[in-house]
Amino acid sequence: MIKLLKHLKPIEWLQFFAVICLVVGTVAIDMALPEYMAEIISQVGAGAGVNEILITGAIMLALCFGSIILSGLAGFFSAHISAGLCQTVRQKLFDKVGSFSMQEIERFSTASLITRSTNDITQLQQTYAIGIRMIFTAPVMAIWALCKIIDKSSELSGITAIFLVIMIAGIMALFLFAFPRFKKLQSKVDKLNLVTRENLTGIRVVRAYNAEEKQLNKFEDANTDFSKTNLFLNRLMALLSPFMTIVMSGLSLTLVWIGAYLIGENLLNVPVLMEFTQYSALVLISFVMLSMLFLILPRASVSARRVREVLESQTTIADGSNDFKEKGLGKLEFKNVCFRYPDAKDPVLKKINFSLNKGETLAIIGSTGSGKSTIINLIMRFYDTTKGKILIDNQDIKDIKLEQLYDRIGYIPQKSLLFSGTVFDNVAYGTHNASKKDIDKAIEISQAKEFVEKLDGKTDFMVSQGGNNLSGGQKQRLSIARAIAKKPEFLLFDDSFSALDFATDKKLRTALKENMKDATKVIVAQRIGTVMDADKILVLNEGNVIGLGTHKELMQTCNVYRELAYSQLSKEDLES
């Protein structure tokens, strides 16, 4: 938790030091109050006048108001510091996750990253808001009070020390039992988040297969596991309050009992006993504050460690340092590219070689799991090659700044993704100052104009999160329009035509040929009809290139391609 304080802004550091000063001032006032109480008792015993006693009481009342004001200011600044710090950490966490490659996302898991960005940071904010004051108040008050009473009475000081040891031992025992459970608790929050997210994401499949009961059982198991752990911790922490009450009451009773005996033996007087009792109570109160910190610190320290794991993790995809030397060449080349997924035994791609010039279209086809989408992921640098090089305009993409690389690529993922907002906002996403004319043209090329014109508000139609109020084909066409609107030099289609019917597929490819002549295109597809017009067709099987050429060439030289073609289309269709 202390390491996260490096994210404090300068103004928050000033507030931090202000809290320390306010805390010291509050403790100083609290330390003065028992002395005035003892003075009032002495005045009464000495038969002082009412006015003299009232003056002393008025001073005590003024000190109390001063303590309240200083304590309130300390609380105000502490809340401001904790909110500001956690806002900064949350922003850096979001930026860090945004820079992650797919390897880091898979290592942490989406559910865990959501928990770390929300629940864990909320735990930290609550802890900082309370702890910043207490972490200074408790030791200052304890040391100051001990210095006040240590020379008052050796007998009473010894009794106070015994009760302090008992209190510290009890707090440490609870802490040792609770800390490991708090570590497990946050992982169980991840599990609960995972099951909930899985159920919400796949609600249609769950209903279609009447699997509500199965999902309910999964959630119930995760929920019960989390509840049991949380219940154990709450019961354990609930022991702290009665334990502290017993210790404090026991100390007060013992001090009065022994003090009465010492007064009877003329070894102590009443004002000193009252003063000692109040100072010893302040000592115990300071340890009560520490016990409250021990109550919230274990879970917060686990949360801090989980947040730091994300912030301090090294991304496997390092940003390049070079700019593109030449622009507009539109050349893409793979040189002996091999790739193995992290922790996998066998490579997914083996010695992939091909080159594309400006305006050419490469289609990639093959069986499921042959590595088609992996090629797209490597071009996008979602992963880096294990061996070999990928060149764009004769430069290794590992050396190019990611921002410049992505500016030149229009990417359409296998699963179309739309954001909440208007159709216009979704198509214009990622473009710079796109005009209405440019967006309309992109929608027309992607064959989305037909259904967009029928929507209520047309391009101002509000798309729900994930595009759930549109069909699969409609979402796919808007995703394609979004890539086209960028006017990129490279267009990457990762099985992006699968949700389209054959007629729309053909119209879209024709429109791309006519309107995106200068764009170099890479198309991953399953249908022969989608790939047969490409300038080059790459046939993959278990990560190996078993064919590269035009449709006519592959029909003669590649058995796998020929069998795939005849399985989808008749001989007459292929010849025509």
Residue spans per domain, the chain: 3-311, 332-575
Residues contacting residue 198 through CB under 8 Å, at least 6 positions apart: 215
CA 340 to chain centre: 28
DSSP per-residue letters across 195-220: HHHHHHHTHHHHHHTT-HHHHHHHHH
Percent of the chain having pLDDT more than 70?
A: 98
Label the pairing between strands 361-366 and 520-524: parallel
Rounded to 5°, the CA angle 84-89-92 comes to 125
- The pLDDT, as a whole number, for residue 492 is 92
529-547: average pLDDT: 87
Contact 116, 310 (CB under 8 A): yes
Contact 241, 174 (CB under 8 A): no
List pLDDT tens digits, range 223-281.
898 888 888 888 887 887 788 888 878 888 888 888 888 877 777 777 777 777 777 87
pLDDT at 302 over 70: yes
390 bridge partner residues: 334
pLDDT at 222 over 80: yes
Among 485, 479, 450, smallest CA distance to 467 is for 479
* Rounded CA separation 60/273 (Å): 19
* Rounded CA separation 391/405 (Å): 11
* Rounded CA separation 353/356 (Å): 11
CATH of domain 3-311: 1.20.1560.10
- Torsion angle, alpha carbons of 568, 569, 575, 576, to 10: -130
88-99: average pLDDT: 89
Beta-sheet strand order (sheet of 332-339)? 349-356, 332-339, 387-392, 395-396
List pLDDT tens digits, range 174-220.
777 777 777 777 778 878 888 888 888 788 788 887 888 888 888 89
Is-above-0.75 flag for pTM?
no
Reduce the DSSP state of residue 403 to 3 states and report it.
helix
- The pLDDT, as a whole number, for residue 141 is 83
The CATH architecture that domain 332-575 belongs to is: 3-Layer(aba) Sandwich (3.40)
pLDDT at 69 over 90: yes
Angle between helices 154-201 and 121-149 (to 10 degrees): 180
List pLDDT tens digits, range 349-403.
988 899 999 889 999 998 888 888 899 999 988 888 889 999 998 888 998 888 8
Among 312, 303, 319, smallest CA distance to 93 is for 312
- The pLDDT, as a whole number, for residue 429 is 87
Backbone angles phi, psi at 431, to 5 degrees: -95, 160
Contact 255, 192 (CB under 8 A): no
Contact 401, 320 (CB under 8 A): yes
CA 571 to chain centre: 54
pLDDT band, very low/low/confident/very high, at 575 (cuts 50, 70, 90): low
Lowest model confidence (mean pLDDT) among 41-50, 79-88, 499-508, 549-558: 41-50
pLDDT at 58 over 80: yes
- The pLDDT, as a whole number, for residue 565 is 84
**Whole-number average pLDDT of the chain:** 84
